[in-house]
Amino acid sequence: MKYFIITFGCQMNISDSERIASILEEAGHKQADNPESADLIVINSCSVRQSAIDRTFGALNKFKNKKIVLAGCILESDKKKFKDKAQFWNPADYFEKLPRRESQFTAYVPIMTGCNNFCSYCVVPYTRGREKSRPAKEIITEVESLAKRGFKEIFLLGQNVNSYASKFPISNFQFPIKSQISNSKKEKDLNFAGLIKLINQIPGEFWLNFISSHPKDMSDELIETAAKSSKMISYIHLPVQAGDNKILKAMNRRYAVAHYKKLVKKIRQAFTKYKPQIPVTISTDIIVGFPGETKKQFQNTLKLAREMKFDMIYIAQYSPRKGTAAAKMKDDVPQFEKKRRAVALDKALKKTAFANNKKYIGKEAEVLVDKISNGFAFGKTQTFKNVKFPAGNFKPGDLAKVKIIGAKAFNLRGETIK
């Protein structure tokens, strides 16, 4: 059979799709070039956002004459709506499966799955279950293999990577470590900072990053390690969700605004110390219009966004997810007001992001090329900034030396350095 996978949602779902593809290939199926020419469609969906569920409905209707399997983070209540239209892929973690990688130079490596935090708006603890860390030796072996095959960019993935916990069988290791793992009897506890330290020593020229973090679990040790590790890029995604303590409490985030501010300060100080060339990029997630959020409370979020000078904010307008604690609260911010708050926040973001990007003008940067289109190369810097420059002979996966000659809020323009 020919199969095609449609993926909605976060990088974790993208990573799962690569592993689902490898399971299908092992069973003798072949990937189709497009959904129209496939016999089997796998929709890897997500109940975190209503938009993904709406798009899943759309895909189910569009391909109703084909065999359809639904996978991913889907709430039982959403599953019931789909049950006559598709079969379900049994919930599974795909850790031990080697993925069929879509990219030859960017790899997503899951290190843990699930979440114990129960933020009041979020379905993940219900759809993915409790936290489960992947054994460190499996992660190390996978990253070693990616590095040997010349991958340039590796993302460590998990719902809350900061609470990663595993055992590791050696204390004084050298790479390659595979043989030592099997010989050693001694085990030691490994936290997320420890895992980064290990991966940072794997030979090979690759950029390392991780998503996502929880501010309550981001330790000083982790900040210091991330800033100090030569392979870690200068980019931290740290979801704040709101800039008002009462709303944070209602969201069950278990930190206060002051704690978040301190973390950002520490991150900036540590990265300035070890990677002083250009300021660290900091992005966040914010939900506007959470139940009970007053205009004044939203102003506090706006104030925080300006103060933190974010490079990017992934803004969500609150919508209740069935089965969560927040779904029992009154969704009392009108839709037009949620939209207004999202627009106001976006306006503030564009100002801070533009001010940050202007600092790049005249500077040189190494850019990993993602794609070529219409004579231009598009790629990312080691600070996760998008850059567009004349393509020349570059191809996806190349590293280019570029001088930045122009800046907008969310991208930079460059010229190649001869």
Output the smallest distance, CB 292 to ligand SF4, in A: 18
Of 193 and 240, nearer to ligand SF4 (C-beta) is: 240
Site membership for ligand SF4, residue 124 (CB under 6 A): yes
Output the smallest distance, CB 122 to ligand SF4, in A: 3
Q: What single-letter amino acid sits at 135?
A: P
- Alpha carbon 31 to its chain's center: 25
Stretch that binds ligand SF4, among 95-103, 116-124, 290-298, 346-354 (CB under 6 A): 116-124
Of 105 and 210, nearer to ligand SF4 (C-beta) is: 210
Site membership for ligand SF4, residue 125 (CB under 6 A): yes
Of 324 and 383, nearer to ligand SF4 (C-beta) is: 324
Count of positions on this chain that bind ligand SF4 (CB under 6 A): 10
Stretch that binds ligand SF4, among 74-82, 111-119, 194-202, 301-309 (CB under 6 A): 111-119
Output the smallest distance, CB 201 to ligand SF4, in A: 29
- Residue 330 and residue 187: Cα distance in Å, rounded? 50
> Running DSSP on this structure, what letter comes out for residue 85?
T
Output the smallest distance, CB 240 to ligand SF4, in A: 11
Indicate the burial class of 357 (C-beta count within 10 angstroms; 0-12, 13-18, 19 or more). buried
- Residue 346 and residue 332: Cα distance in Å, rounded? 22
Which residues does 219 contact at the CB level (< 8 Å), separation at least 6?
A: 162, 191, 193
Contact in structure between 134 and 88 (CB atoms under 8 Å): no
Q: What x-and-dash track marks residues 7-46 binding ligand SF4 by CB under 6 A?
A: ----------------------------------------
Q: Which of 15, 47, 159, 301 binds ligand SF4 (CB under 6 A)?
A: 159
- Residue 105 and residue 32: Cα distance in Å, rounded? 22
Q: Which residues of 222-251 are buried (b: 16+ CB within 10 A; e: fewer)?
A: bbebbbbbebbbbbbbbbbbbbbbebbebb
| Geometric angle at alpha carbon 398, from 395 and 402, rounded to 5° | 100
Of 252 and 272, nearer to ligand SF4 (C-beta) is: 252
Task: Determine the 3-state secondary structure of 163 from DSSP.
Answer: helix
- Residue 89 and residue 109: Cα distance in Å, rounded? 21
Contact in structure between 345 and 318 (CB atoms under 8 Å): no
Site membership for ligand SF4, residue 160 (CB under 6 A): yes
Output the smallest distance, CB 95 to ligand SF4, in A: 18
Task: Determine the 3-state secondary structure of 309 from DSSP.
Answer: coil
Binders of ligand SF4 among 221-260, rule CB under 6 A?
A: none
Q: What x-and-dash track marks residues 206-225 binding ligand SF4 by CB under 6 A?
A: --------x-----------
Output the smallest distance, CB 124 to ligand SF4, in A: 4
Of 159 and 229, nearer to ligand SF4 (C-beta) is: 159
Output the smallest distance, CB 327 to ligand SF4, in A: 14
Binding site for ligand SF4 (CB under 6 A): 115, 117-119, 122, 124-125, 159-160, 214
